[in-house]
Amino acid sequence: MIKKIIPKNFIILGLAGILSLALCPVSEGAEETDSHKTTEHKNVVATNVPVKLRSKPSIRLVNPVLQRGEILSQVKDDIDGDGKDEIVMLMGNSAVNKSSYMGDLYVVSKDPATDKVKGFIRPKDLGGYNAYLSLTDVTGNDVQNILITAPSGGKEGVNDYRILDFSDKNPREIFTKDDNRGVSMQGIFLPDFKARLYFPSISKEVIVDLTDKKETYEHLNVYNKDGSLKDSGIEPFILGLGSLVTLDLNEDGIDDVITTQKVVGTTNDDVLGYVRAVWEYRAGTWQQKKVSFQTNLYSKKTYNTNLPVKGMSGYEITSQSAQLDNNIVIYPRFVKIVGPEQWKINSQLENFAKNVLDEVRKGGQVELNYEIKYAGNKYASVLFKGTVVKENHSAPVLEAYNFNLATGEDMPLDKMVRPFGEFWNQVKNMLSRENIAFTKDDIYGYYYDGNVLALLYNDGKEFDVEPKVYSTYLSKNKLQEKIVTDQSIKEKESKKEKKAENEK
């Protein structure tokens, strides 16, 4: 049974995207000279007087103190190596009024004691939906780097990633827009319903069998019925980064970057497979350590698309995923919560996902998903469910987080029900009637779904406590939630009847 092993001082898991050597930009916009025009020649005298430009070049300066923008995400850690924590904020503005797509994203680092700006940077051409920050150390200098994840939306499932380094006086992008191109690939269709995928960086090719899609490719005019090729001009291609995970794979104290890209044939829905690559940042460049191709990204047994959940107070819970080899973990992410509480909540969820992946880093299989049990005004309950298989032994994963949204903290059971001793006596009475044996020391977690209070005990077992037992002890006043019980319904109806009688 996997249980929480999250330290109080979080080391944030950054998840999603891909890394490649930065390409030198080609200068654009050079004006062409009209050779037919005549030019009057004059004598030119060389001086040391600076030349004054008739119009200033178009340069956009950023003043993070004065510039207005919406805070999208924030983290807190030492990102510049001075031994003190900074508050780091990702800010942006709606591309269109009331749009959830935020463009013109920029990052500001502040001293929490003085609120003064210590550094800022605007990554090139960065925007997305529900963009967020996380922390990682890819440089190996024991100073946290900033990872930005900006989902682009659409069926492609592509994200835009940046990694920022604030350890120098001038913050810089070490994982840039160009690095998001990921692994390069050349693809062509071959006769007899086959596709050839060639990866120049490793000088290897993969032949993919397409016979199960014959009718589709015939309909799209790629093949004739006999398997001969038509002159369609269509070629297989590789999409941008679908995910980026940072993990220390070789235990050298430096995070490696694991990226995943989708390879498609004719359309985005025509998936041929997935390319996974491992990269490390060395001597100021991204070194490609490993590239692999697989036709299936994950086991279809447990994977499903978790739809966004909207909380009672307006926040949202979206679905995130991280892959390592054949393993995938699906975990939730809270958005639209202004303040450090959002970071505290998400860091715990990301760290749990990272720990589960780490269980199978050296071999094994993991499948992990989640359920949102409750999404109230001041309280939310998340249940992770899955399985870890190592050395032919299977262990269940059943882990719950219960967040006080006002603080971002995971509430222990003895704070959720008070006084705990009296609550436990009531539970013991229930256990004796149902012939179930476990002690309060066997309880390692719980969740609340608005109706039952479920206690997790032993190896992933669950015991449901009815409302009539827990309602007296539940910290509903502190959480400001509306707890619906038979008793509360009767009290409400009684008040209505009395009010109606008084009005008569």
Alpha carbon distance 362, 344 (integer Å): 29
pLDDT value for 277? 93
Residue 175 has pLDDT above 90, yes or no: yes
The model scores a pTM over 0.75: no
pLDDT digits over 375-433, tens only?
A: 998 899 999 999 888 887 888 899 999 999 999 999 999 999 989 999 999 999 999 99
pLDDT value for 392? 76
Please say whether the beta carbons of 431 and 437 come within 8 A. Answer: yes
pLDDT value for 297? 64
**Residue 362 corresponds to which amino acid?**
K
Sheet harboring 237-247: ordered strands across?
15-16, 237-247, 256-264, 271-282, 285-294
Residue 289 binned pLDDT confidence (cut-offs 50, 70, 90): confident
Residue 18 has pLDDT above 60, yes or no: no
pLDDT value for 222? 95
| Among the four given CATH numbers 3.40.50.170, 3.30.565.40, 2.60.120.620, 3.30.420.40, the one describing domain 309-410 | 3.30.565.40
Residue 498 has pLDDT above 80, yes or no: no
Residue 321 has pLDDT above 90, yes or no: no
Q: Reduced to 3 states, what is the DSSP secondary structure of residue 266?
A: coil
> What are 208's two structure tokens?
């993919």
pLDDT value for 162? 97
pLDDT digits over 223-276, tens only?
A: 999 999 999 889 999 999 998 989 888 888 899 999 999 999 988 889 999 999
Exposure on the CB side of residue 353, measured as CA atoms within 13 A: 31
For the chain, give every domain's residue range: 15-21+63-181+240-250+276-294, 309-410, 413-488
CATH dotted code for 413-488: 3.90.640
pLDDT value for 364? 86
- Helix/strand number for the chain, H first, E second: 7, 27
> What are 277's two structure tokens?
């690559």
**String of b and e for 329-351 (b: at least 16 CB within 10 Å)?**
bbbbbbbbbeebbbbbbbbbbbb
Name every residue whose Cβ is closer than 8 Å to that of residue 390 and which is 6 or more positions away in sequence: 359, 360, 363, 364, 365
Distances, alpha carbon 479 to alpha carbons 144, 158, 306, 415, in Å: 34, 37, 26, 11
Residue 309 has pLDDT above 80, yes or no: yes
